[in-house]
Chains A and B, each alone.
Chain A
Amino acid sequence: MTQKIKVVIMSGAEDGSSHIFNSENGDGIFGENKWTISIGRKDDNDLCLRNDTFVSRQHANLHWMEGRWWLEDCNSTNGSFIENEESFFEDRRVKGIIPVKTGQLLRVGRTWLRLEEAE
């Protein structure tokens, strides 16, 4: 089954740029019952954030599984975060893997990202 997702960069040197990942084009990796987009500073990641020194080489994964998106932190040094609905300035650190929604803001290192449905 074809899967698509758009990741918009919301801060840093690439703020405003976006990346579309499409399983049909060979983006990401299909595993057992999931499709994974890797995020990190190294070039071999699907989403490479080379301009943020707070991003680890292999920082986080976005998974499509069980009909929804999940964010997994890969034991990164500076952490992955989601916005805290109760306190705007206290971002919530992701431990392990958590479900995320399109439209929600996520942070890896110092870079904010947003997931959008790809057209």
Chain B
Amino acid sequence: MPPLPLKDIIISARQESHRMRHYYLGVEHLLIALLDVKGGIAAQLVQEQGLTPEYVIDAIRRKIGKGGKHRLWAGVPNTPRTDIILGIANDLAINNGRTQIEENDLLIALLEEEDNMAVRVLKALGLDIDLMLEHARSLKLPLTHSTQPFVQVDFGLDFGESDLSKEDLFLLRRMFHGYGSIRIERRLMGGYADSRLLVVTPVNVDKREDAPVVVKIGPTHEILDEVQRYESFVKGKLPPLTTRLEDRPTAPDSSDLAGIKYTLVGVPDQTPQDLRTVAKEWGGERVGAWLKKQLFPVFGRMWWRQNRPYRFETWREYDWLLPPLFTIEMIESAPLPPNAHVLKYPIRRARLKDVEYGDTVIVEHFTVHKIDREKRIMQLTAGGNTDSAQAYKIEVRGVNFDEVMYYRGEVVELIVGTVWKTRDEQLKQIVRGLSPDFDIEAAMLPFPDAIERLPNPLKIYNDVLDDYINGTLSTIHGDLHLGNIIPGPNENPALIDFEHTRDGHTLFDWATLEISLLNDLISPTIAGESWDKARTITRHLLHLQEVNDKTTDNLYLADTLAAIRSIREIVRECLYHEEHWGEYFISLLFYALRAMRWESLSLGNRRLMFWVAALAAHELRAQKYSSDGTPSPDQTDLHSKLSDSEN
């Protein structure tokens, strides 16, 4: 493809400037125009280093931000820096015996100047500017893999039936380009709904096998975010013998998928297995002991044992686990409708209780978190740009992306919409879908125990979101279920899948793991999907911490309850106030409410999740009020929250 002349790049750059409501021609518009050229030099150089042009373009837009609504001048003047860069590009063209500036002249000039904000973004994304310059100058471009590289794909005995798509296989071949073949050994159960985790053994052309790696394949933006997250939170905080991210990501422009590889310290002739698989052989007691003696101490020093005091309102860490606050249908914003509910940070939750179906809401200064152009849906959050824990999700439907450009990370000044569904209604709908044998509107639910009734979690979750928690802040995995934990050689622990890794509430990870153990180990030990079975397991959990617990004669159940006990022992070490378990049950309440919505779980498991949420709500109440009815320290927190909000 011949290099593009300057005039074509300028046209595209001006269009970008209009879309961003800037109305000047800046360096950022020139770089975005260069990256937007399909198969262009800039796009190839970015892809060579594992990023996609779209990802980089969104990052530049995020850093610069959109302009205001009002245009202050006519025309699209060059900025002083643009003039300087065009001057450098012109010199480069002349030195190369050309009369016109071309694509690579402009790119080199822009990278050489390097002080501009656009190149600062490239550097922040981890791109090697010197390498880009070297290749742009020599026009030594990476191979354009227009055809599928030939790498034979075999399947190991443990893999079972392949349900990998053609796109997955194409990506795998690209990731292992240069090898003779690969053998997909097994699928690991980690990852979120759209991603796949595979153990892959690369085989050289001379049939020599390299050590197996864990490959994660998922939507491009999410994989590239995970790489950024790994660089920020994980890289420097790993024990010596564990998984590490290998190479740069592979993100071909012909696919919406990208892939990364995690190296493993393996044992010859053994392919790594996740704890979900290993647990079936080990049993609950051994799993619990391993978590306590291996995982917690080995990762704990740099992760969960950081013990930085952290006082926060529950919603900051846990709101994102709930369904969207509202789903709204976007409507014309001018003129602004009278009597509309205004949603802006800080959210006044008390005012949200009146919002119902059909009401108009004005959403101000929320951040674009996700975009689905095909479905015309956008997800907004009140959190910052890069937080994984994004509070107050709002799903906006009917977005006309042809008319207005939105990009991930953009802080949207104002969006108006009609409420289509509230969070409360969505949660009730989910529970109705489980065919409850109780009244979901009741504040207290009948329970077959001495306690007789447990609080309805649907009735209390909203108030709990406003509670203050005295806890600790640590680096947390963010998705610590059994599928993301790998017992390696000598039972040395390894973690994979760092998409949600962040600095957050320490106990989040342990509530995640308890829910994972319940769904993977305990629930299958009691057959049947009835509500009574779910209540039976919940009853055992309720008495879990009682001394000399003899609540079950079911040996399988007793064994798996032992694993949960180990989790609770780890939690005890992490509690901010000794024996103040309210801090943990808040985590468990919200994680159980999240798991209740997972359609991948059996009906019985989802029913169990509802009752675990009720159990957590009960324990929370028990913590808040001592037997004589006086407020405990947690309740004092509630009062201090009220006085804080008044201030």
Contacts and interface: CB of A to CB of B under 8 A. Distances in A.
Contact of B59 (A51, A52, A89, A110): A89
Contact of A13 (B59, B79, B117): B79
A11 interface: yes
15 contacts: A11-B26, A13-B22, A13-B73, A13-B79, A15-B82, A15-B116, A16-B79, A51-B73, A53-B68, A53-B72, A89-B59, A89-B63, A89-B124, A90-B384, A110-B65
B70 interface: yes
A88 B124 CA distance: 7
Interface in B84-102: 84
Contacts of B26: 11-13, 15
Interface in A12-34: 12-17
A13 B81 CA distance: 10
B296 to A, nearest CB: 26
B232 A86 contact: yes
Interface string A80-119: 0000001111100000000000000000001010000000
Interface in A29-68: 50-54
- Find the residue from A12, A13, A52, A54 having the highest chain B CB count within 10 A: A13
Q: 7 closest A-B pairs (Cβ-Cβ)?
A: A16-B81, A53-B68, A16-B80, A88-B124, A15-B79, A13-B24, A89-B385
Contacts of A17: 80
Contact of A51 (B28, B63, B72, B409): B72
Contact of A16 (B70, B77, B84, B409): B84
A45 B72 CA distance: 19
Contacts of B385: 87, 89-90
A10 interface: yes
Contacts of B409: 89
B62 interface: yes
Nearest to A55: B68
Interface string B54-69: 0000010011110111
B383 to A, nearest CB: 10
Contacts of A15: 26-27, 79-82, 116-117
B386 interface: yes
A49 B73 CA distance: 14
Given A14-B80, A15-B26, A17-B80, A90 B386 contact: yes
Given A53-B68, A88-B63, A89-B62, A16 B386 contact: no
Contacts of A16: 79-84, 116
A107 to B, nearest CB: 9
Q: Is the interface of A mostly helix, strand, loop or mixed?
A: loop
Sort chain A's interface into a size bin.
Answer: 20 to 34
Contacts of A11: 26, 28, 64, 117
A14 B124 contact: no
A90 B79 CA distance: 25
Contacts of B27: 15
A52 B62 CA distance: 17
A89 B386 CA distance: 7
Contacts of B59: 89
Contacts of A87: 232, 385-386
B569 to A, nearest CB: 33
A106 to B, nearest CB: 13
Contacts of B83: 16
A53 B72 CA distance: 9
A10 B24 CA distance: 14
Contact of B77 (A13, A53, A54): A13
Interface in B189-208: none
Nearest to A11: B117
B409 to A, nearest CB: 6
A52 B116 CA distance: 18
Interface centre among A50, A54, A87, A88 (most CB of B within 10 A): A88
Contacts of A51: 72-73
Contacts of B116: 10, 15-16
B62 to A, nearest CB: 6
A67 B14 CA distance: 44
Interface string B380-394: 000011100000000
B65 to A, nearest CB: 5
Contacts of B384: 90
Contacts of A112: 117
Given A53-B67, A53-B70, 16 more contacts: A10-B115, A10-B116, A11-B26, A12-B22, A12-B79, A13-B26, A13-B79, A14-B79, A14-B80, A16-B79, A52-B68, A90-B385, A110-B64, A110-B65, A110-B67, A112-B117
Contacts of A88: 63, 121, 124
Nearest to B121: A88
Contacts of B69: 53
B455 to A, nearest CB: 37
A12 to B, nearest CB: 7
A89 B60 CA distance: 10
Given A15-B26, A16-B79, A90-B386, A54 B84 contact: no
A5 B67 CA distance: 28
Interface string B19-55: 0001110111000000000000000000000000000
Q: Name, among A16, A51, A110, the residue most crowded by chain B CB atoms within 10 Å (CB to CB).
A: A16
A12 B547 CA distance: 67
Contacts of A13: 22-24, 26, 73, 77, 79
A12 B24 contact: yes
Contacts of B67: 53, 110
A76 to B, nearest CB: 14
A13 B20 CA distance: 13
A73 to B, nearest CB: 17
Contacts of A12: 22, 24, 26, 79
Interface string B87-130: 00000000000000000000000000001110001001000000
A17 B84 CA distance: 11
Contacts of B81: 15-16
Contacts of A14: 79-80
Contacts of B72: 50-51, 53
Contacts of B64: 11, 110
Contacts of B23: 13
Contacts of A90: 384-386
A3 B436 CA distance: 75
A56 to B, nearest CB: 13
A52 B124 CA distance: 25
Nearest to A18: B80
